[in-house]
Amino acid sequence: MDRFAFEDFHSLVEPHQKLVSLDLFTHGASEPKDFSGLTRAEWKEMLLAFLTHLGHDRFSMMAYSLGGKVVLETVNLFPDRVKSLLLFSPDGFKKNRFYEFLSLSSLGRWTYRGVIRKPHVFLNFADRLTKYKMLPVRLNKFVHHHVGDKTRRELVYDVYRVYRHFIPDLSALQRGIEQHKISITFIFGEYDRVIHHSLAQRFMDRLEDDSLAELHLLNKGHVILEPNSALYIQENNLWFNPHDASKKPRES
């Protein structure tokens, strides 16, 4: 996710707000990061320096897909500073053993380097799984999109190496959200086969205060950051406004 991912949302920013969009490492114009992996301590130090530069103590966050994992780790680092979250199909609510294998183990990294060199072997395997109905067609298309292009498959590999130590503690996340009354708005594509909305619902079910989170489903797949999504946010008054304590979470 690069800093232009939320370009369509700038019109929602209110006069008293400031929207700061960041490039994830290996995205956009970010400087190269040591692929041994960004640690939580390094990320905390960077954020503290950035917040000092901005002159803000508290903030809200918005993220999409992999950026969700970064946001969840940030909440665990600074639960007392976070006001609210707007998360689009966020990663981080389920441990993905496959990605952990690829990014955390030497064998996994060696395996993915083989995929980078000879992607057709992996893609043929994915096609065979789809043929026997073991892999959904939409997910197979997603795999072909990211693995079929050399630049994209290298980017996927680099991203997961950089953020391989970011494995959010969901129990700590729940405690921080409830203790500091952090409101969360989840926006998912109803037909998303990459990150399913049931993961958000499962986390919401853990919260004792169910007024803190709500889930909205759009008629989309995993690609969800589009102009009509920004319009939906505006029409439903979801732009970083504290949830009404009397309102129950709802699906749309």
Tell me how far CA of residue 198 lies from CA of 27, 109, 114, 217, in angstroms: 28, 30, 33, 11
- CA trace torsion 177, 211, 1, 145 (10° rounding): 120
pLDDT digits (tens, 9 = 90+) for 78-104: 999 999 999 999 999 987 655 555 555
The answer to whether the CB of 6 falls within 8 A of the CB of 19 is yes
- Predicted local distance difference test score (pLDDT) of residue 135: 77
Q: Are strands 183-189 and 213-218 parallel, antiparallel or unpaired?
A: parallel
What is the rounded CA–CA span in Å between residue 30 and residue 66? 16
- Domains, in order of start, for the chain: 7-95+167-235 (3.40.50.1820), 97-162 (no CATH)
At 167-185, the pLDDT tens digits run 899 999 999 999 999 999 9
* Segment 109-150, tens digit of pLDDT: 566 666 667 778 778 888 888 888 887 787 777 777 667 677
**Pairing status of strand 59-64 against strand 213-218:** unpaired
